[in-house]
Amino acid sequence: MRRGFKAQTDLRVFLSEHRAAVTPAMAGLPAQGRPRRVVGLRRDEIAGLLGVATEYYADLERGLLSDAPDASLQDLLSDVLALSPEDRHRLNLLLDAAYPGAGAVTRERIDEEPRQQMPSAPQQEADHYGASEAMKQLLDSFDMPAYLRSRSLDLVAVNRPGRLLYAPVLEWAGADEEKVNLLEFAFLDQEAAQSFWPDWGDVITRAVADLRGALETYPNDPELIGVVGTLSARSRLFCRMWIDQDLPPRSSQGHEKIFHSLIGAVTIPFRMLAEEDGAQVVVFTPVSGSPAYTAMQRLRAWAATG
């Protein structure tokens, strides 16, 4: 009992001290314009940057969680606190001591342990972010651009007109054809993203709202936590938007303005069809006879001959 109490105390002191050493400006948070009662970041600010509830982070800091946080959350916490390599190792040791039953899940331990030790998912989610043949057939059945995006906004599968429309985004993934994450493209290559989406600000606001909504539904999803971690570490703009309480509500339809070298600038309506696992099929739905419809017909013709 005493050993457990000491481990919890050591973890709390370590995190509290490092939290106090990070200013809001260092974390990319906006100035509040009023005196602060604490030095460094508050627990709710850390929680917002991590994408978890304030109560969850408070319990994490005190060593009171029922299980150790996973590797993605540990990495994100280390990034938010700007820990040195030595301090990252120290944090892993403290988490190991605070959670001796489960053990802290470090990146190295994930590589060493067999996959079957991770919680198993239902069979229908075994290929969670892959596209089944049925899904590919569904996408190909649309004569307008359509794609499947995962709940973490990975661009998973795209029909032929969609591949041509979204060519700048798909090319960003590189020649190895790895899945591209729409938010990472939008935030980490702003010049290309702003050229592709003239209304880039609206696009990223909607996408961040979608990501937050997905994380609220699937709070332990390592893919979601990983995307939040990557963007929090590399984009201060994302950090500011992530803790913004005024993001718009999620919507299953809207308009997207795209600039394409073959058709110029076009504003295209779209609808989203929700899948059971939180993924979404996005289908562009221009009205017959509209400029967007004509542009998509031209794009479809080019795709058919490409």
In order, the DSSP letters of 247-296 are PPPP-SEEEEEEEETTTEEEEEEEEEEE-TTS-EEEEE-PPTTSHHHHHH
Those residues whose C-beta lies under 8 Å from the C-beta of residue 197, and which sit 6 or more positions away, are 186, 203, 256, 257, 258, 259
Q: What is the pLDDT of residue 121?
A: 31
Which tens digit of pLDDT belongs to each residue from 140-153? 888 889 999 999 99
Same domain, 32 and 154: no
Q: How many CA atoms lie less than 13 Å away from 56 in the CB half-sphere?
A: 17
- Give the three-class secondary structure for 148: strand
Residue 123 lies in a domain: no
**Residue that terminates a domain, selected from 93, 117, 141:** 117
- Give the structural domain span for 253: 131-305
Q: What is the pLDDT of residue 5?
A: 65
Q: What is the pLDDT of residue 196?
A: 95
Tokens of 73: 């959350």
- Contact of 58 with 41, CB cutoff 8 Å: no
Q: What is the pLDDT of residue 277?
A: 85
- Contact of 258 with 290, CB cutoff 8 Å: no
Q: In the chain, which stretches have pLDDT less than 50?
A: 1-3, 102-129, 175-176
**Residue that terminates a domain, selected from 86, 117, 148:** 117
Same domain, 29 and 110: yes
Q: Are strands 280-284 and 154-158 parallel, antiparallel or unpaired?
A: unpaired
Same domain, 147 and 112: no
- Contact of 153 with 210, CB cutoff 8 Å: yes
Residue 124 lies in a domain: no
Identify the CATH number of the domain in which residue 107 sits.
1.10.260.40
113 φ, ψ (degrees, to nearest 5): -85, 150
Same domain, 111 and 217: no
Same domain, 137 and 86: no
- Report the C-alpha gap between 19 and 104 in whole angstroms: 20
Same domain, 138 and 89: no
Residue 125 lies in a domain: no
Same domain, 284 and 150: yes
Same domain, 109 and 153: no
Same domain, 236 and 300: yes
Residue 212 lies in a domain: yes
**What percentage of the chain exceeds 90 in pLDDT?**
23
* Number of domains comprising the chain: 2
- Report the C-alpha gap between 269 and 249 in whole angstroms: 18
Q: What is the pLDDT of residue 3?
A: 39
Residue 167 lies in a domain: yes
**What percentage of the chain exceeds 70 in pLDDT?**
79
Residue 301 lies in a domain: yes
Residue 215 lies in a domain: yes
- Report the C-alpha gap between 58 and 46 in whole angstroms: 10
**Residue that terminates a domain, selected from 60, 90, 117:** 117
Same domain, 111 and 135: no
Same domain, 295 and 195: yes
Which tens digit of pLDDT belongs to each residue from 192-241? 999 999 999 999 999 999 998 898 889 888 888 888 888 888 888 888 88
Residue 197 lies in a domain: yes
Identify the CATH number of the domain in which residue 149 sits.
3.30.450.180
Beta bridge mates, 181: 154
Same domain, 275 and 193: yes
